[in-house]
Structure formats: C-alpha cells, structure tokens
C-alpha cells in the first residue's frame, strides 16, 4: 500500500480533485483514508435517487470514506453546518472547497482494480 496526500485549494471541486490525483499518480485501486477541510457548496446524492441535493453555505468535512478505481470511484461524506446539523450522503461532483482540504488516499499494490457499481 502506498499513501498519497494532496491539498486542493479553495473553489476547487473535491470529487474532481480526488479523481485528478488518481490519474496523476496512476492509482488503479485504493481507498480514501481521510479528508479534513471545509466546503462552501455541497452536492450530495441520497441512496436510490438520481437527483442531487445541493447545499450552499459553509460546511466542515466531518468524515469521508470510499473506494477509488479506474472503473469508477464511490465516496460517502458527512458534513456539518455551523450549528448542530450533520448530514451524510454520496459525494458527487459540485462540492466546492472553502478552506484547503487535506486528503490522504491509499493506493493498493498488487490489485488491478476495484469494481464499483454506482
């Protein structure tokens, strides 16, 4: 297993920055270990729904988990607002970073891919 860290800047898309790191580092399969930062906009999808729920405001990333693969990646994220509300859903493109997000991905050696069914 090889660990990769990256820190996308404000206004970048969180999902896209993860995918770009996979391509740049030639990661065929792995998992997200950590993400710390905040979002100014969130685009999340509930299970069994095609339509995204969009949230504007400032949200702390509380947790993120998921698998990365050349066949498609899948992430679940929990975010918290400035009060006591926390929501968790499927991470989609459109989540804009507010404060730079520090991310860690584990790339698996000797595994060609993880098949993700989204």
- Residue 40, domain CATH: 3.30.1330.80
Contact by Cβ (8 Å): 59, 38: yes
Residue 10 lies in a domain: yes
pTM across the whole model = 0.85
Q: Which residue, 43, 41, 38, 17, is CA-closest to 96?
A: 41
Residue 112 lies in a domain: no
Q: Tens digits of per-residue pLDDT, 68-79?
A: 888 888 899 999
Residue 117 lies in a domain: no
Residue 18 lies in a domain: yes
Range of the domain at 9: 2-107
Which of the four pLDDT bands, split at 50, 70 and 90, describes residue 114?
low
**How many of the other CB atoms lie within 10 Å of CB of 106?**
16
């Amino acid at each position: 297993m090889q660990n990769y860290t990256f820190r996308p800047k404000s206004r970048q898309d969180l999902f896209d920055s993860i995918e770009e790191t996979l391509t740049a580092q030639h990661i065929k399969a792995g998992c997200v270990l950590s993400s710390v930062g905040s979002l100014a906009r969130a685009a999340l999808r509930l299970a069994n729904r095609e339509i995204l729920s969009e949230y504007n405001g400032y949200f702390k990333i509380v947790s993120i988990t998921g698998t990365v693969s050349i066949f498609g990646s899948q992430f679940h994220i929990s975010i918290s607002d400035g009060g006591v509300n926390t929501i968790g859903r499927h991470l989609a493109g459109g989540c804009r970073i507010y404060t730079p997000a520090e991310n860690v991905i584990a790339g698996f050696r000797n595994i060609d891919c993880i098949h993700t069914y989204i």
